[in-house]
Amino acid sequence: MQKQPTIRDVAAAAGVSVAVVSRVLNPGSGPVAAATRGRVSDVMETLGYHPRTAARELKHGPPTTLGLLLADVSNPFFARLADQVVQEAHSRGIQVLLMTTQEDDQLESERLATLIERRVSGIIATPTGNNLDTWKKLQDMGTDVVFVDRSIPALPAVDVVTINNTESARSATALMAAHGHRRIAIISGPASSTTGRDRIAGYREALDAAGLEQDELLIRSAAFRGAAGGDATTALLSLEDPPTALVVANTAQVTAVLRRLAHAGISIPEELSVIVFEDSPWTELMTPPLTIVRQPIDLLARHSVRLALSNPSGKTSGKPTVVRVDAELIERSSVSRPKPRP
Amino acid sequence: MQKQPTIRDVAAAAGVSVAVVSRVLNPGSGPVAAATRGRVSDVMETLGYHPRTAARELKHGPPTTLGLLLADVSNPFFARLADQVVQEAHSRGIQVLLMTTQEDDQLESERLATLIERRVSGIIATPTGNNLDTWKKLQDMGTDVVFVDRSIPALPAVDVVTINNTESARSATALMAAHGHRRIAIISGPASSTTGRDRIAGYREALDAAGLEQDELLIRSAAFRGAAGGDATTALLSLEDPPTALVVANTAQVTAVLRRLAHAGISIPEELSVIVFEDSPWTELMTPPLTIVRQPIDLLARHSVRLALSNPSGKTSGKPTVVRVDAELIERSSVSRPKPRP
DNA sequence: CATAAAAGTGTAACCGGTTCCATTATGTTT
DNA sequence: AAACATAATGGAACCGGTTACACTTTTATG
């Protein structure tokens, strides 16, 4: 273990001042004779010199780090979002500090405190819905905050990137109706989440458009974490007049729902038509291949990163940006006509 | 956008010196009268003061950031590893800088340069196998490097955390043999990777133990990325004497392999028994539920973080630590006796 | 009560870069 | 060749914390 050379070591070894070395380090910050530049570069090479980011950031914290605050990364949706965000950020020379909240406001609060202390230039987050003051404070500090996938209505000043949740649930439900289903159920995210609410709204719209009656018993909100999806499934199956179609609009609960259906011996689509909000490769490998709603994760990531870096310091723009991208309904084989009732 | 207060602002507002404020910030670094502490804390609160991490790290770069360098995060295995590493790190007050290499040495090299400049205290990585000099340099600097999942034989001085690859492939292959299979194929990672080599070694051991002949045509190395898994599958299926059992020991290629099998209309396990190295929930939802090798990701993460933080600065310990955890073979329904040949 | 020990506080240097500004070297113009 | 613009370099302050050390005030001890 050797201690690292500093800019002064390089300057001394090259027989120049630290100012010159700094200029070599930051091309464009001032003139340096070609010969000098070469000599300094050589010295840096032989000494194995690398400037410390921490020191550089002290002067004018440059937008070199971005906070990515997700609910959790074991969920494939968030995992792929993280992957895309990291790639997109890297392509711009930006680093990503990854944090998770586990959907817990307390943890979220701690993570936000850390992000404040790090003076990250931007944050891309799936907010829990609380910590409003902290979010506001972050923006006051000039941090570019972007909510992705969800938003917080009480914070209308924050940029948001989501899919068109209402429309995606509407089209999925409409497909069920078009196949002749009259008892269509939906399992969505919690009512406290914008995704949950919007998707249920789209579901209702589709029912109205199809002239179908709304039955509150067929609308289930399940938490993102835990086994809520399985329980909701069981509840739906044990209804007196059970649904013939099910839209699983809570990505985090898709496997829990499917597991419960399998254990209950429900055959898809004969007994129950199913559409899930989930775009992993395995949905195609199921028997039958599942009809899905595909969320364009790469677009979400790209727009999020762009917005999180768009206001280098201090936003003058008045109103926040809201990007809404369209999801895609991929029809495979898990939807059919309902079997006639006895 | 307001500019942030500094420690001097706080000191001035509280009518004390910066040293006192610093002591309030770092309990244990020196005595502060209770009354003073309270007053300073109040001022920090009202001013909305948060110390800048960059400035703190200038003095003695404390082990507060960890680099996590993975091949990619869209792969569920790595995603869950990332999730666990982040959680484990957070529980110790450590932040995680997430980076991906896409299995590309050039990109890896760039990421490593960044990590050097950031002076992270530790790095947890799935190395591509190149950039040997940089890895050495990192260690010389006192960075705690931990390879997870794979290792680089040419770098024996690095701590490693892996599953017992040889044993896991051996037991999977042995299970096939125990079911009476004589033509057992394996699709592993590239021969350049330690995981690929070790798993093939275990496979060979199992064949020997079962007194089965080794056929090099049944051993396929597929790259981690791309469609290599599908191609290898097709090649195996079109063999003159095709296998009756297949061990998919390349997690990144599992879905590609299964997709190809589905398209080829191969029924599992009637025509082909299958065991996959993959522990996602969906493996249980398949028809039939897949027999899998489960890798204890949480253990990998826990040990990795522990090692990456164990040598606060400057390792005196002579030899590196190698942690090898056991994978678990979960028997479900994708393995059966081979059907008798005509 | 004198005095030593401990507690509380302040001053200033330092970490490793960046950058303003002054100074000197080089080059161009007429 | 004088006059002046431009290039190249160096000195030193600064970013926002931490900390060694000096100094003052309390508290403890004999």
B17 C-beta less than 7 Å away from strand C:
yes
CATH code of the region B65-163+297-326: 3.40.50.2300
Q: Of the candidates B337, B324, B314, B276, which has an alpha carbon nearest to the alpha carbon of residue B149?
A: B324
Taking the CA of residue A44 and the C1' sugar atom of nucleotide C23, their distance in angstroms comes to 27
- Does the N-terminal peptide bond of residue B288 adopt cis geometry, omega within 30 degrees of 0? yes
Nucleotide nearest to B18 (CA to C1'): C10
Nearest CA in chain B to A252: B281
pLDDT under 50 in chain A at which residues? 313-314
Burial of B303 (0-12, 13-18, 19+ CB in 10 A): buried
Report the side by side order of strands in the sheet with B328-330.
Answer: B219-221, B184-188, B245-248, B273-276, B291-294, B328-330
Q: Is B154 exposed, middle or buried (0-12, 13-18, 19+ CB in 10 A)?
A: exposed
Q: Which CATH number fits domain B7-51: 1.10.260.40, 2.60.40.10, 3.40.50.1820, 3.40.190.10?
A: 1.10.260.40
Tens of pLDDT along B164-202? 999 999 999 999 999 999 999 999 999 999 999 999 999
Q: Residue A72: which of B83, B141, B256 has the nearest Cβ?
A: B83
**Residue B180: helix, strand or coil by DSSP?**
coil
Residues forming CATH 1.10.260.40 domain(s) in chain A: 7-51
Residue numbers in B near A107 (CB within 8 A): 90
Q: CA–CA separation, B293 vs B169, rounded Å? A: 9
Residues B291-327 have pLDDT tens digits of 999 999 999 999 999 999 986 544 555 689 999 999 9
**Quick one: pLDDT at residue A317?**
58
pLDDT at B288 over 60: yes
Structure tokens of B217?
Answer: 């045509």
Measured distance CA(A145)–CA(A68) in Å, rounded: 10
Instruction: State both tokens at A325.
Output: 């991208």
Considering only CB atoms, B86 lies closest to which of A100, A262, A281, namely A100
Cα Rg, chain A, nearest whole Å: 26
Count the alpha carbons within 13 Å of A286 in the hemisphere toward its beta carbon. Answer: 29
- The ranges of chain A annotated as CATH 3.40.50.2300 are 65-163+297-326, 165-295
- A42 CA to C15 C1' in angstroms comes to 25
Find the length of chain B.
Answer: 342
Helix or strand (DSSP H, E) at B111: helix B105-118
* Secondary structure of residue A336 in the 3-state scheme: coil
User: How far apart are the C-alpha atoms of A268 and A183, rounded to whole Å?
Assistant: 15
Question: Residues of chain B with pLDDT > 70: what percent?
Answer: 96
Which bases on strand D have an atom closer than 7 Å to a protein beta carbon? 7-21
Q: How far apart are CA B49 and CA B307, in angstroms?
A: 34
Q: What pLDDT digit, counting tens, does each position of B49-107 carry?
A: 999 999 999 988 777 899 999 999 999 999 999 999 999 999 999 999 999 999 999 99
- Chain A interface, mutation test: which of B98, B99, B115, B290, most A Cβ atoms within 10 Å? B98
- Residue B1 Cβ under 7 A from any strand C atom: no
Per CA to C1' distance, which residue is closest to D10?
A17
DSSP A41-93: HHHHHHHT----HHHHHHHS--S-EEEEEES-SSSHHHHHHHHHHHHHHHHTT
Q: Alpha carbon of B286 to those of A51, A229, B74, B333: distances in Å?
A: 52, 19, 21, 10
The string of DSSP codes covering B122-153 is EEEE---S--HHHHHHHHHTT-EEEEES---T
Coil/strand/helix, residue A111: helix
Nearest CA-CA partner of B198 in B228, B230, B162, B231: B162
Nucleotide closest in space to A53 (CA vs C1'): C17
Nearest CB among B54, B99, B282 relative to A57 is that of B54
Q: Is the pLDDT of residue B332 over 50?
A: yes
Q: Which two tokens stand for residue B248?
A: 């998919």
pLDDT one-digit tens code per residue, B238-268: 999 999 999 999 999 999 999 999 999 999 9
Report how far residue B263's alpha carbon sits from residue B10's, in angstroms, rounded to the nearest whole number.
68
The answer to whether B279 and B213 have CB atoms below 8 angstroms apart is: no
CA–CA distance, B192 with B170 (Å, rounded to integer): 19
Q: Quick one: A90 exposed, middle or buried, by C-beta within 10 A (0-12, 13-18, 19+)?
A: buried
pLDDT, position B340: 78
Q: How much is the mean pLDDT over chain B?
A: 94
**Length A121 CA → C23 C1' (Å):** 38
Provide the positions of strand C that have an atom within 7 A of a protein CB: 7-21
Name the class of domain A165-295: alpha beta
Distance from CA(A49) to C1'(D14), angstroms, rounded: 23
pLDDT digits (tens, 9 = 90+) for A216-252: 999 999 999 999 999 999 999 999 999 999 999 999 9
